[in-house]
């Protein structure tokens, strides 16, 4: 199914995807109204949420409660290349999360379809974070 892109005034560019409207805007310093995330920030969110759905599915299949889990994401930007060269995902697990699944859940998060469509030279660092 195609994605329809339309313009909604000033710097707002929206997408109609499967009956949902995804809104984007630009920051005020770029003549936007900062009324929605930028397209690039949505791209970053898609990477994190894609890893997240894989992690959630992993937990669901094993009957592990994922309600206290979260993923935080950052990246390393190379100003020379003007590109992100590394994504850093931290999978925050609660007390009692079975350590035997650490490696498997990291591998599962790395299977994200969004990441697989990126240039293979972009590094993907995924780490488990346990409460202290």
Position 10 pLDDT exceeds 90: yes
- What pTM was computed for the model? 0.87
CA distances from 15 to 3, 49, 102 (A): 7, 18, 37
- Tell me the residue ranges of DSSP E strands in the chain: 4-7, 13-17, 20-22, 70-78, 83-92, 123-129
CATH second-level architecture of 51-129?
2-Layer Sandwich (3.30)
Per residue in 47-94, pLDDT tens?
999 999 999 999 999 999 999 999 999 999 999 999 999 999 999 999
Position 118 pLDDT exceeds 90: no
Going by C-alpha positions, the residue among 100, 107, 113 that lies closest to residue 127 is: 107
Position 36 pLDDT exceeds 90: yes
The domains of the chain are located at 1-36, 51-129
């Amino acid at each position: 199914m195609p994605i329809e892109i339309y313009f909604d005034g000033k710097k707002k560019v929206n997408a109609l995807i499967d009956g949902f409207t995804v809104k984007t805007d630009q920051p005020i310093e770029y003549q936007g109204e900062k009324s929605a995330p930028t397209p690039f920030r949505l791209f970053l969110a898609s990477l994190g949420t894609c890893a997240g759905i894989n992690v959630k599915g992993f937990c669901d299949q094993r009957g592990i409660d994922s309600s206290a889990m979260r993923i935080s994401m950052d990246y390393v930007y190379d100003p020379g290349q003007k590109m992100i060269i590394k994504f850093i995902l931290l999978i925050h697990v609660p007390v009692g999360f079975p350590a035997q699944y650490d490696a498997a859940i990291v591998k599962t998060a790395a299977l994200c379809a969004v990441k697989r469509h990126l240039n293979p030279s972009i590094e993907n660092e995924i780490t488990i974070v346990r409460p202290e």
